[in-house]
Copies of this chain bind each other. A is one copy, B any other.
Amino acid sequence: MEVSNHYVTIKHDINGSPAESDFELRTTTLALAVLGGSKDVIVKNLYVSIDPYQLNRMKSDSSSRIVSNSSTRIVPGQAINAHGVGRVVASDNPEFEIDDFVVGLLGWEEYSVVKGGDTLSKISSTEFPLSLYAGIFGTSGLTAYVGFFNVCKPKKGEKVFVSAASGSVDMLKDQLGFDNAFNYKEEIDLKSTLKRYFPDGIDIYFDNVGGEMLEAAVANMNAFGRVALCGVISEYTDKGRKAAPDMLDVVYKRISINGFLLVDYLHMFGEFMSITSEHLRHKRMHALEDVSQGIESVPSAFVGLFRGLNVGKKLVEVTKI
C-alpha cells in the first residue's frame, strides 16, 4: 500500500528569527512496506514535539553542533526529525507489531520510517494520555528532570528561578504551584525584578533563555549558586544579544554555569519515568500542553515558540487516533 506523506521542511538556512515563510510543506509517496531483515519500522505519527533547539539545526553554522542524531544539520528540502508518539503501521522488527503505540525520534511528518527501529520504545501502559509521551514523559520532561536534579543538585530550602517557565503568571501560581511568577515582557529592569522576587537571593537558576536574564540572575545569585544552562532561546534568533554576566560576581560568589544536554543523561530515564508517573498520579504535578492540529500547523507552532505564544509544552497533533 502506498500513502502520500506530508512533511515540513525549511526552504533555506535560518540564521535569525524564523518566519512561517521560511518553511514549506512537501509531499512524497511512501510504500507502507519494510524490507525483510531490515528491522525497519514505519510509524504513523500522532503527536510531534515542537522545540526551540530545532532552530540551532537550521543555522548555517550548525555543523559544529552535531552531538546526536537529533542535532544534525537540517538540510533544506529534507525531512526534520523530532521526538514524537505514533502508531506502528509496518514492522520488520520483532519488538514492534502493527498498531503498537511507540515513542522516539520520529519527525515533522505524517509517517516516519525508523531504520532498524533504533530509537523507538513501545508504550505499554494505557494509564496516561498518549500525548504525554511527546511532552512530560519525553525529551522535554527528562531534560527538566536531569537539569534540575543532576545539574543543579538542589538542597532543601534553596531558592530556585526558572526562566521561560511558560504560560500566564496566574496559571503558574494558581494551577502549577509556583511560589511566584512574573511576565518578563512587563518588566523594565530584570535585575531589580529578580531582586524584588528573590529578596534572599537565587541559589539555583534553570536557564532556558540566556541574554539579559542570565545576567540578571547572576547578579542576584547567592554564594555557591548554580546555573543549569539548558538553552538560550533569546540568543537563538539574535546573535547580538549575548549574555555577558558579571564574571567578578561569578568568581566572588563561586557561581558555576553548567551547559548540559539530555544525550548525556539518557540512563536516567527509568528513574525519571517512575518518579514522574507517581507525581502525576497523585496530582502533585500537572502536565500542561499546547496542541496545534495537523502537520501543516508545524511552522506556525514552531515560530510561536520564539514569540512566547505557547502556554505549556508545544505539540502538534499530526493525526487523530
Contact = CB atoms under 8 A, between A and B. Distances in A.
B210 A252 contact: no
B254 A256 contact: no
Interface in A32-73: 56, 64-65, 67, 71
Interface stretch (A18-26, A96-104, A229-237, A267-275): A229-237
Contacts of A295: none
Nearest to A71: B252
Contact of A244 (B64, B243, B249): B243
A223 B223 CA distance: 27
Main secondary structure of the interface of A (DSSP, over half): mixed
A231 B64 CA distance: 29
A280 interface: no
B232 A67 contact: no
A254 B247 contact: no
A194 interface: no
A246 B242 contact: yes
Interface stretch (A154-162, A257-265, A309-317): A257-265
A288 interface: no
A215 to B, nearest CB: 9
Nearest to A256: B258
Interface in A201-224: 210, 214, 223
Contacts of A223: 67
B67 A247 contact: no
Given A210-B247, A242-B246, A247-B242, A261 B252 contact: yes
A307 to B, nearest CB: 20
Interface residues of A, number: 35
Nearest to A56: B248
A3 interface: no
Contact of A235 (B229, B248, B264): B248
Given A232-B247, A243-B247, A247-B243, A259 B264 contact: no
A251 B261 contact: yes
A152 B255 CA distance: 14
A250 interface: yes
Contacts of A254: 258-261, 264
A204 to B, nearest CB: 15
29 contacts: A56-B252, A64-B252, A65-B252, A67-B252, A71-B252, A214-B247, A229-B251, A232-B247, A232-B248, A232-B251, A235-B248, A242-B244, A242-B246, A242-B247, A243-B247, A249-B259, A250-B259, A251-B259, A251-B260, A251-B261, A252-B261, A253-B259, A254-B258, A254-B259, A254-B260, A254-B261, A255-B259, A256-B258, A257-B258
Sorted nearest first, the 9 A-B pairs with minimum C-beta distance are A250-B259, A244-B244, A242-B244, A251-B259, A232-B247, A257-B257, A65-B252, A256-B258, A210-B247
Interface of A: 56, 64-65, 67, 71, 210, 214, 223, 229-232, 235-236, 242-261, 264
